[in-house]
Amino acid sequence: MSTFMAKKEEIQRKWYLIDAKDKILGRLCTKIASILRGKTKPIFTPHVDTGDYVVVINADKVKLTGKKSEKKIYRRHTFYPGGLKEMKFSEMQKKHPKRVIELAVRGMLPKGKLGDKIFKKLKIFTGETHNITGKKLEILN
């Protein structure tokens, strides 16, 4: 008996639409990451991109549980001395609402070339509308 390995030519990709309104950030992003990676498919192969496309709308209306919206801090460094920049979740959601979901999903994907390729299949929009046309979008709850 041989092990099944998916090939690029055999993969059929779907497009999924997810409404992030009033959803918990971590639970939403784990679902998105598993769809992007292809773990929901029976043909999943770890070293091949077998995942589907995901379109997220209402990214600015995602929530956190408890008091995390005041306590959660995003940190980055400018690579200059004393260049540590910190921003709370509530500020980040106001200034860069897409980045909240991007950072969460990015951390759940593999690092390297494969992770970069998988991440490009994620499309995030802040409002109710999106500009994806010509694709049949399946709505996920």
What does the pLDDT read at residue 84? 98
Domains observed in the chain: 14-64+96-129 (3.90.1180.10)
Largest CA distance in the chain: 58
Model pTM score: 0.93
E strand map for 31-113: 53-57, 73-77, 84-88
- Per-residue pLDDT band for 131 (boundaries 50, 70, 90) equals very high
- pLDDT one-digit tens code per residue, 88-114: 999 999 999 999 999 999 999 999 999
- pLDDT one-digit tens code per residue, 44-63: 999 999 999 999 999 999 99
| Residue 2: partners with Cβ closer than 8 Å, 6 or more residues away | none
What does the pLDDT read at residue 67? 94
